[in-house]
Amino acid sequence: MLTEQSAYSNRWRRVSPVAKGFFSLCGMVAAFASGSPRAALLVTLTMATAAVLGAGIPAVRYLRVAATPLLFLLASGLSLLVSLDFGTPATGMSLHLAVSEIPRILQVSCRSLACLTALLFLALSTPLSDIITLLRRCKVPATLLDMMTLCYRTLFVLSEAVHETMTAQSARLGYASFPIALRSLGGLVSNLIVQVWQRSLALHTAAEARGNDGALRFLENRYARSPQNITIAVVSGVLMVALTVLLP
């Protein structure tokens, strides 16, 4: 997965997640505090530059990860541009472009784009295990963190199961034609459902065997120069928020 590849191979992998989390939080605060599309675009440029040039994430990979949410953002912006007028019983409903709302739509879209780049910075530069550790320090409920951990683990297990099943089907010419491919796809889905059920039962049995008492715990990593990195993140984040607020 592209997100995990970037999270474990970027230049800032060993930087404290507290520093990266605070800088990402400042990016979202600056996005909501921006009073104009220009200010929001400045936050977008700052967060994207920090991810690509700072953390060393390849630009092509960054764009590939951002492509899907950008499509949703574009669709949302276009839907806001179209207004539905119910009219009267005689005229009926009609659609028209809300030209007068274009400045507000542009502002909302730019703020959403800035928040997206802030979240991408954290997701692409920090492994989920470090993010969960950071959230635990922020007193996030343990149940929610346990669910995140289990979903994160299950995602890779299912990905491996899909890959192995598709490899076995391809070796038997399971995708030689369209009808055969549909049959193979049905077998893949049914086999995956069975595996999910079996693995969930095995996970439940393992939890019961351990008493199912308390939250899941992991060893926390130690980071060199953590105070210095946190100080740099605080200064940079606060400066970004201040510039965004002051920018007309």
Residue 135: per-residue pLDDT = 87
Residue 3: pLDDT band by 50, 70, 90 thresholds?
Answer: confident
Q: Could you give the angle at the alpha carbon of 71 between the alpha carbons of 70 and 77, nearest 5°?
A: 85
SS3 82: strand
pLDDT tier, 87 (very low <50, low <70, confident <90, very high otherwise)? low
Burial (CB count within 10 angstroms: exposed 0-12, middle 13-18, buried 19+), residue 145: middle
Q: What are the pLDDT digits (tens) for 109-134?
A: 999 999 999 999 999 999 888 888 88
Model confidence at 156: pLDDT above 90: no
Distance between CA atoms of 35 and 146, rounded to whole angstroms?
Answer: 38
| Rounded distance between C-alpha atoms, residue 229 and residue 232, angstroms | 5
Cα–Cα dist 142/121, whole Å: 25
Domain ranges of the chain: 2-86+94-126+223-246, 140-209
> What pLDDT, on the 0 to 100 scale, is given for residue 215?
67
Kindly indicate the confidence band of residue 205, based on its pLDDT and cuts at 50, 70 and 90: confident
Q: Is the dihedral of CA 176, 177, 181, 184 positive or negative?
A: negative
Dihedral angle at the C-alpha atoms of 230, 4, 196, 199, nearest 10 degrees?
-60
Contact in structure between 158 and 60 (CB atoms under 8 Å): no
Evaluated on CA atoms 123, 128, 132, 137, the torsion sign reads negative
Range among 89-93, 154-158, 206-210 rated most confident: 154-158
Q: What is the pTM of this model?
A: 0.80
Q: Partners of 14 in the beta sheet?
A: none
